[in-house]
């Protein structure tokens, strides 16, 4: 049996790869990569490596997750090392858990090589601190689900000092705004949309929860940061965004996200 490396490719900039990730890619035999892995990062792989795109974009799957799991196990039987290259960090919304379970059941050795997750890349591009100690003491990472049976956001964990990071908010910003308002977030709470973070086509748009519905769609992949840190004027943000009534209302109203 060979070994499978689950490597984080980061948000796009190849210079954000870890030294270990860069070394493994330079000596790679075969790389199964997500669609969101940038061409610049793929260019870091060995010229002799076989590259296989197993990603998903706009809901279109080249392979099912079970098929990807089976490929990893199959290649590990004939190759000394197999690289599973994922955008951002493998452990953050990357289905690494399902792949790890398949590898364990098949008795395949594996190793996780962390990467810079999109939340950190987007915050760096926007030039903000996700945990500014003056106004933010916690970060909540979530994806935005439009399914009726989607998981309910635990609004009890969202307070005036929470920075909410929504991965994959989609193109309908109006729906996102509505859900956030229904959850009790103030309309004037700042937010920032970051598209193609750290890449050559990156874009940053500053807004608020209430104004979000009127914002023009930015190209995917995009990420939404919501909270008092998502303002260009952090110094001016006092308790005006959240009173005690707002905080109580947030904790009492679940919503689907």
Question: By C-alpha distance, which of 206, 216, 158, 214 is closest to 182?
Answer: 158
pLDDT of residue 246: 46
Which single residue is written with the structure tokens 């807004």?
207
pLDDT recorded at residue 249: 40
Phi, psi of 185 (to 5 degrees): -75, 140
Q: What is the pLDDT of residue 45?
A: 97
Cβ atoms of 83 and 5 within 8 Å: the answer is yes
pLDDT of the residue at 243: 47
Question: How far is the C-alpha of 143 from the C-alpha of 88, rounded, in Å?
Answer: 14
Structural domains in the chain? 3-116 (3.40.1010.10), 119-256 (3.30.950.10)
Instruction: Pick the catalytic residue from 1, 3, 56, 132.
Output: 56
Instruction: Spot the catalytic one: 13, 34, 89, 153.
Output: 34
- Convert the chain into a string of H (helix), E (strand) and C (coil): CCEEEEEECECCCHHHCCHHHHHHHHCCCEEEECCCCCHHHHCCCCCCCEEEECCEECCEECCCHHHHHHHHHHHHCCCCEEEEEECECCCCCCCHHHHHHHHHHCCCEEEEECCCCHHHHHHHHHCCCCCCCCCCCEEEEEECCCCCCCCEECHHHCCCCEEEEEECCCCCHHHHHHHHHHCCCCCCCEEEEEECCCCCCCEEEEEECCHHHHCCCCCCCEEEEECCCCCCCHHHCCHHHCCHHHHHHHHHCCEEC
CB contact set of 17 (below 8 Å; sequence gap of 6+): 9, 10, 25, 41, 44, 115
CA dihedral sign, ordered 132, 137, 141, 144: negative
Closest by CA position to 144, among listed 125, 163, 123, 164? 164
User: Which one of 1, 3, 132, 168 is the catalytic residue?
Assistant: 168
Residues of the chain with pLDDT under 50: 149-150, 235, 238-257
pLDDT of residue 157: 74
Instruction: Note whether 55 and 67 are within 8 A (CB).
Output: no
Q: Is the pTM of this model over 0.75?
A: yes
Question: What's the angle, vertex CA 122, arms to CA 46 and CA 39, rounded to 5?
Answer: 25
Q: How far apart are CA 14 and CA 257, in angstroms?
A: 31
pLDDT at 237: 52
CB 87 within 8 A of CB 94: yes
pLDDT at 29: 95
Any catalytic annotation for residue 56? yes
Q: pLDDT at position 247, please?
A: 43
From the list 137, 95, 139, the residue with the least C-alpha distance to 120 is: 139
For residue 236, the model assigns a pLDDT of 52
Tokens 């196990």 locate to: 73
C-alpha 34/C-alpha 31 separation (Å) is: 10
- 34 classed as catalytic: yes
């Amino acid at each position: 049996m060979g070994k499978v490396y689950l490597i984080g490719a980061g948000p796009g900039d190849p210079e954000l790869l870890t030294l270990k990730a860069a070394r493994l890619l330079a000596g790679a035999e075969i790389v199964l990569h997500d669609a969101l892995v940038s061409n610049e990062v793929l260019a870091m792989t060995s010229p002799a490596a076989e590259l296989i795109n197993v990603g998903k974009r706009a809901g279109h799957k080249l392979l099912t997750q079970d098929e990807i799991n089976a490929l990893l196990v199959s290649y590990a039987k004939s190759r000394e090392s197999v690289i599973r290259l994922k955008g951002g960090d493998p452990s953050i919304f990357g289905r690494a858990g399902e792949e790890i379970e398949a590898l364990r059941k098949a008795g395949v050795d594996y190793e996780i090589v962390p990467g810079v997750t999109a939340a950190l890349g987007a915050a760096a591009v926007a030039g903000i601190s996700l945990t500014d100690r003056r106004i933010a003491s916690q970060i909540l990472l979530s994806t935005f689900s439009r399914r009726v049976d989607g998981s309910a956001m635990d609004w009890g964990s969202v307070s005036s000092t929470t920075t909410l990071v929504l991965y994959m908010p989609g193109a309908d910003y109006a729906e996102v705004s509505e859900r956030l308002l229904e959850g009790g977030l103030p309309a004037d709470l700042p937010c920032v949309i970051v598209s193609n973070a750290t890449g050559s086509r990156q874009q940053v748009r500053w807004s608020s929860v209430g104004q979000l519905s009127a914002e023009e769609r930015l190209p995917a992949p995009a990420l939404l940061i919501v909270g008092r840190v998502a303002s260009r004027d952090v110094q001016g943000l006092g308790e005006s965004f959240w009173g005690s009534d707002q905080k109580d209302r947030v904790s009492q109203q679940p919503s689907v996200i």
